[in-house]
A and B are shown apart, each in its own frame.
Chain A
Amino acid sequence: MKKEEGASVSIWSKAQSVRAEWLWLVTLVLIIVPLAVPPHVPFTVNQSTLRIYEYVKKLPDGSVIVSGGSGQWAFIYETSAAFMAFLTQIKNKDVKLIIFPLSTDSLMFEPWAVKVTGFDKVKEYGKDWVVLNYVPGGADITLPAFMTNIRGLCRTDVYGRPLDELPIFKTVNSYKDITLWVDCGANSIPSLARYVAPYKVPILGFVHSAYYGMFQPYIAAGQVYEMTNGIRGGGEYEKLVGYTPWNLGTVTMDSYQLYSIYILALVIIANIGTQMLKKEEKKQ
């Protein structure tokens, strides 16, 4: 819109052309302030998170859980909240955990999450939990082999110890021995639905909000038991287990409260501004 020399620029026009850096500065303030002064906003627990919590609570003693997802560090704050809450919940149960990383980041992330939650302090490595070596090639190549013959795919754990020497593998070698599969990855659900679900192994997913809607068909089809919804799902799960060392989900919800109001306000201002500018143009 041309501005005539000497004419005043309407407030709506100024609002439309505000610099991005100012918007970012306000965003930064709105995110940091709740971290420094947490208001502890209340939020209820969703049915899907409750179902996961109840399901894990009812796992029988001696259950074998495989944690296999292509987790990415870029998304750690979304999926790790729920995953850490899950580890906190199973920490005091008589279950075994096999970490089968489907990506290099997952290989680093999942053992790190185990350490942060103190899971490794109450469980014995090799007997109650183990980290398998990363096998390159992606889920499409490794999962089919894993489900039928774990030792055929992974000869050693990540520390180079042969699987035959690890007590946990005296009774575990294929899908028949797996009670539950959990996924804290970015988008491993389709691969798990394709290669794990046919063996009737229940799958729990700790997924990002962006994928939550997208992966609903897998729940409806019965291939995935349930999923948590991003950071909110993580916060809900933390509430159920009585909080985790990081409390990422709960802490983030405080910032999200203000951030979401800010985004909504910006969109409303942008839309009102557009309509007002149109009216001004029509008048002129």
Chain B
Amino acid sequence: MVSKVLYRTILPYVIFMICFVPVLSNYYFDVPILRSVETELRNWSTLIGLTAMFLGLANITIYYYREIKRRKHLEWQFGVYSIALTYAWIIYGLSQGGLTSPAYNEIYVFVKGHSEAAQIGLLTFFFVTAAFRTFRAKNMQALVLLIFAFIPFIGVAPWGEQIWSGWPAFSEWILGGITMAGSRAILIAASVGLVAMVVRIVLRYEKGGLIRG
């Protein structure tokens, strides 16, 4: 019982405070020892990030292995494809000398890079259906919102300045003035919420999630 409390509650909190206090202090105070402690902690953080990659790899393997074994879905064959491709990519990259190998570079650019660009290209189409479905002015507020949303949209398009030469400058003003004010307000409010959440964690008031109060 004692060991469960130690493991689940006290130990995570102690580790959190050991990492939190030096990093926070180093941001404000000019103390050399804090700098070296923070650098060391950041190096450890990098190592943990690397270790987490293996955890992720294990997770993918387990998930797709289960999918293949169960064959619950019609597309279970894609699980075979996913596992095979994951390991083939790792083995190929290691055998070719890693990221600097020209062959690996070519495959990275022309397979991964362009697949990803194609993914984001899909947003072009999804935006069309989202705009058609959602951009309905059901009341005056929504209408005003819609108008102000479309001003910068048209401002970027070449035909906007054909209609009125001042349109790009006007849309820049909306983005740089009105939108910025709203962005700042959301940013400030979110930052305050973040500070409050961290203080709750430090004072052990935060229930649920990572550090249990």
A residues within 8 Å of B by Cβ?
A: 18, 20, 23-24, 27-28, 31, 41-44, 46-48, 72-77, 104-105, 107-109, 112, 134-137, 141, 145, 158-160, 209, 212-214, 216-217, 219-220, 229-230, 232, 253, 256-257, 259-264, 266-267, 270-271, 274
Interchain residue pairs with CB less than 8 A apart (16) = A24-B128, A41-B159, A73-B112, A112-B105, A112-B109, A212-B175, A213-B152, A213-B176, A213-B183, A256-B158, A259-B124, A263-B128, A263-B131, A264-B150, A266-B132, A270-B135
Question: Assuming the A-B contacts A263-B153, A270-B136, are A41 and B180 also in contact, with contact meaning beta carbons closer than 8 angstroms in the complex?
Answer: no
- Is the beta-carbon distance between B120 and A75 smaller than 8 angstroms? yes
* A260 close to B159 (CB less than 8 A): yes
- Give the top 4 A-B pairs by smallest Cβ distance, nearest first: A213-B175, A137-B46, A260-B157, A73-B113
Is B127's beta carbon under 8 Å from chain A? Answer: yes
* Residues A27 and B125 in contact, CB atoms below 8 Å apart: yes
Which residue on B lies nearest to A267, using beta carbons? B135
> B residues touching A (Cβ–Cβ < 8 Å)?
39, 42, 45-46, 49-50, 99-100, 105, 108-109, 112-114, 116-117, 119-120, 124-125, 127-129, 131-133, 135-138, 146, 150, 152-154, 156-161, 165, 168-169, 172, 175-176, 179-180, 183-184, 187
Q: Residue B116 contacts which of A74, A134, A135, A230 (CB distance < 8 angstroms)?
A: A74
CB-based contact B168/A44 at 8 Å: yes
Cross-chain contact of B137 among A44, A77, A135, A271 (Cβ < 8 A) = A271
Distance in angstroms from B117 CB to nearest chain A CB is: 5
| Least Cβ–Cβ distance between B106 and chain A, in angstroms | 10
In the docked arrangement, what's the CA distance between A173 and B133, Å? Answer: 54
Q: Is the interface of B mostly helix, strand, loop or mixed?
A: helix
Are B159 and A263 in touch, CB under 8 angstroms? no
Closest CB-CB distance, A203 to chain B, in whole Å? 17
**Residue in A72, A108, A267 whose beta carbon sits within 8 Å of that of B150 in the complex:** A267
A266's partner among B117, B120, B128 (CB-CB below 8 A) is: B128
CB <8 Å contact, A31 and B124: yes
**Contacts A75-B120, A159-B100, A212-B175; A23 near B128 (Cβ below 8 A):** yes
A163 to B49, CA, bound (A): 25
Task: Tell me the smallest distance from the CB of A146 to a CB of chain B, in Å.
Answer: 12
Given the known inter-chain contacts A137-B46, A264-B150, please indicate yes or no for A74 contacting B175, CB distance below 8 A: no
Give me 20 other A-B pairs in contact (C-beta within 8 A), A213-B179, A229-B156 excluded.
Answer: A27-B128, A46-B168, A47-B172, A48-B172, A73-B112, A74-B117, A76-B113, A76-B117, A105-B113, A107-B99, A137-B45, A141-B46, A145-B42, A158-B99, A220-B180, A257-B158, A263-B131, A267-B131, A270-B131, A271-B146
Which residue in chain A gives the minimum CB-CB distance to B50? Answer: A136
Contact assessment for B129 and A24 in the assembled complex, using a CB-CB cutoff below 8 Å: yes
Distance in angstroms from B132 CB to nearest chain A CB is 5
